Amino acid sequence: MELLVASAIGAMTAGGVYLILRLRTFPVILGLALLSYAVNVFLFSSGRLAIDMSPILSKYGEASYTDPLPQALVLTAIVISFGMTAVLVMISLGAFLEADSDEIDIAQADQIEDSAQ
Q: What is the pLDDT, as a whole number, of residue 103?
A: 81
3-class SS shares of the chain: helix, strand, coil, % to 5: 70, 0, 30
CATH of domain 2-49+66-116: 1.10.287
Q: What is the pLDDT, as a whole number, of residue 62?
A: 63
pTM of structure? 0.74
Q: Tens of pLDDT along 22-78? A: 988 889 999 999 999 999 999 888 876 667 776 666 666 666 767 778 888 889 999
Domain ranges of the chain: 2-49+66-116
